[in-house]
Amino acid sequence: MKIESKLDMSSSNPALNTVSNNGLDLYFETISAFDSEVLSLNEISKKESDSKGITAYLVDMIIRIAQTLTGSYGSKMSSHQMNMALDRIFSQADDWKCSESRNGNGLPDFRSKSLENTRYVVSSSCHDLPESGSVFQRGGSLSVPKVLLDICNAYPVGDVRALLPVAQGNDLGCFGPRGHFTLFDVKIENGKIISAELIDSKGGLIDHFYNGKEKLKDLILGSDGLGCNGLEGKVAKEFSVVTTYLGHQGLLNGNDCGRHVVYAADTIVEKDSLKNASSNEARQFFKDNALV
């Protein structure tokens, strides 16, 4: 299910985002899977238990039960792990051109490729925090305004679709200071930012309180080199932001957001939209691309 809410920069009363109850759906969907998992755990042979050692065996059992209850595919990806996956999928071997690296890990700030009449640009992990935030809070990620400014300057002519993974500074979900990954889909025409869409793999419950699109809008419009009042004027007057909640990731699943971001970026590049995207297709993508 896809739920959309729109925020126009001229509006003084933004509409509240619709909240998805995807977490409740996940509960009912996983009860039978949980029962089956417990049965399979009970059938593990004593030989396997002895070979692993009792501690390793118990840890493995707990992890498997937790993954079943939350519906998670694997452990939470770090920004670096997600960047490595992006670099592997959007690779130079497939004619993606890489920018310079300023993030200290040797990976490009962004990769680009022209398909038909649009240039797609996929960046490395960005953050939605002011530059005054601590290095720990920023988690080694790139600045959204700086990356967008570099993209606008690099491609001043033509249509550009910039896909920026954003590690939100959202600790409302109790998943750490880089609490949740989302995808920021930005439309750029002749070097000007026209509109943007924040794509969230979850429903809107936590973001209803965090309001990620407001933070990104404020960052963009408040940037000296990027905002409407900035010297370079890279943002169109009609600039607007929408949020789309895909509902592919369960409320209790705090691990798979990075994988969903990679899946969404790849789907947009391959199909130009997420219209037919699904949680089942996402999990198959995780498996096919070894996003463990």
Q: What angle do CA 66, 68, 69 make, to 5 degrees?
A: 65
Residue extent(s) of CATH 3.40.395 domains in the chain: 3-11+74-288
> Higher model confidence: residue 131 or residue 101?
101
- Residues 167 and 182 sit within 8 Å (Cβ to Cβ): no
Torsion, Cα of 212, 218, 224, 229 (10° steps) = 140
* Mean pLDDT over each residue of the chain, to the nearest integer: 77
The pTM of this model reads 0.73
CA distance 163 to 107: 16
Give the pLDDT of residue 257. Answer: 92
- 41-77: pLDDT as tens digits: 334 434 444 555 788 778 777 766 665 556 778 888 8
Q: Which CATH architecture has domain 3-11+74-288?
A: 3-Layer(aba) Sandwich (3.40)
List CB contacts of 36: < 8 A, sequence separation 6 or more. Answer: none
* Residue 59: φ, ψ to 5°: -60, -45
| pLDDT at residue 6 greater than cutoff 50 | no
Q: How confident is the model at residue 139 (pLDDT cuts 50, 70, 90)?
A: low
CA distance 110 to 266: 14
- 12-38: pLDDT as tens digits: 333 333 334 444 343 334 433 433 333
CA distance 197 to 11: 17
| pLDDT at residue 171 greater than cutoff 70 | no
- 222-271: pLDDT as tens digits: 877 676 555 467 898 889 999 999 999 987 888 899 999 999 999 999 99
